[in-house]
Amino acid sequence: VAEQIWRHAGAPALPATLLAHLAARWMPLMTDPARVPQARARAAIGRAMGRLGLDHRPGVGLRADGLPDIDWVSIPSPQPFIYQYAQHPGLPTFEIARYPVTNAQFQAFIDAGGYQDQRWWQGLARMSAPYRPEWDEPNSPRENVSWYEALAFCRWLSAGTGVTVSLPTELQWERAARGCEGREYPWGPFEPAHMNSAVHSDDDGEPDIGRTSAVGLFPQGATPAPERVFDLSGNVWEWCLNPYRQSVETGGSSNESRVLRGGAWDCYPGFCRAAYRDGIAPDLRFYISGF
């Protein structure tokens, strides 16, 4: 409520001491379901934290040089794991982002002229301009983004950091989400309170949140330690690199449907299972899909 009043008043500048007090008070509430079990309440705190610029968790915003601050999580090799319904011998070590790419991070690509620079779009269907996100808090996952835009962002980030960055293949995504033992959900058996999906815990029967939420809002829904990757089930569908009919990428120029994994805030839990696959055309943009 305080944050809504602040916006209604024209978002005036606030004293640094007050902002520090709010951040210290709200952050533990946003990220601790034991203290605030209601997902709607934590989501409201997350929105306020984002709009007031108080969410400084690693992996959510930008680095000092203005590039996205990706909090990379190492997935070790060689470890056999369950892929779909069969044993896979294992993948080379790779790293995956702890959180989905946020509005703040994608905006850095836009502000750097990412849609005008042909280098990032070679072999891709170039999008002339971004769609506005349905929800624009800096710490919410970027949605309304196509597979082509996600790949262009990765190329831009690769050039800026000097490290090869790409979308995960479907094999990599499922290894991160299901572990080696083939978990049903990233944390294990189904628990409705562990993700942002179309579940309801209140008597009114409405979804707990009904939109995207700040990334990492469900710590109990992250993969088990030591990996701790968040939002692999629910919040936004996540683009993978490969075509829907192939689990290994064959090149970015194909216009085949690309894979989406993990379900979104409007999905029933079955669509959020870590083994569930979906695929759509790579140029489509929806307010349920990110990366």
Q: What is the pLDDT at residue 25?
A: 95
- pLDDT exceeds 60 at position 205: no
Task: State the average pLDDT for the chain.
Answer: 94
Question: Residue 78: which pLDDT band, with cuts at 50, 70 and 90?
Answer: confident
Q: How many helices (H) and strands (E) does the chain have?
A: 6, 8
Asked if omega into 78 is within 30° of 0 (cis), the reply is yes
Q: What is the pLDDT at residue 182?
A: 95
b/e map 248-283, b = 16+ CB within 10 Å = ebeebeeeebbbbbbbbbbbebebbbbbeebbbebe
The one-character DSSP state at 122 is T
Q: What's the rounded mean pLDDT across residues 58-65?
A: 98
d(CA 11, CA 24): 20
Q: What is the pLDDT at residue 208?
A: 81
Alpha helices in the chain (DSSP H): 2-8, 16-30, 39-51, 103-111, 147-161, 170-178
Phi/psi region, residue 162 (left: phi>0; alpha: psi -120 to 50; beta: rest), is left
Find, among 229, 215, 195, 185, the residue nearest to 57 by Cα: 215
d(CA 236, CA 197): 9
User: Would you say 243 and 215 are in contact if contact means Cβ atoms under 8 Å apart?
Assistant: no
What confidence tens digit (pLDDT) does each residue in 131-160 have? 999 999 999 999 999 999 999 999 999 999
What residues are paired with 141 via a beta bridge?
Answer: 102
Hey, what amino acid is at 222? A
Q: What's the rounded mean pLDDT across residues 201-209?
A: 65
Q: What's the rounded mean pLDDT across residues 60-81?
A: 96
What confidence tens digit (pLDDT) does each residue in 210-228 have? 999 999 999 999 999 999 9
Residue % of the chain over a pLDDT of 90: 90
What residues are paired with 82 via a beta bridge?
Answer: 87
- Label the pairing between strands 289-290 and 237-243: parallel
Q: What's the rounded mean pLDDT across residues 65-74?
A: 98
Matching residue, tokens 């379900």: 263
d(CA 223, CA 186): 5
Residue % of the chain over a pLDDT of 70: 95
Q: What is the pLDDT at residue 188?
A: 96
**Other Cβ atoms closer than 10 A to 235:** 34
Q: What is the pLDDT at residue 28?
A: 94
Asked if omega into 192 is within 30° of 0 (cis), the reply is no
What confidence tens digit (pLDDT) does each residue in 245-281 have? 876 665 656 788 999 999 999 999 999 999 999 999 9
Instruction: Tell me phi and psi for residue 30, to 5 degrees.
Output: -65, -35
Give the rounded distance of the alpha carbon of 153 from its chain centre: 14
Spatial CB neighbours of 11, under 8 Å, sequence gap ≥ 6: none
**pTM of the predicted model as reported, rounded to 2 decimal places:** 0.95
What confidence tens digit (pLDDT) does each residue in 99-136 have? 999 999 999 999 999 999 999 999 999 999 999 999 99
b/e map 10-46, b = 16+ CB within 10 Å = eeeeeeeeeeeebeeebbeebbebeebeebbebbbbb
Q: What's the rounded mean pLDDT across residues 169-192?
A: 95
Find, among 230, 281, 269, 236, the residue nearest to 99 by Cα: 230
d(CA 145, CA 166): 15
Q: What is the pLDDT at residue 77?
A: 86
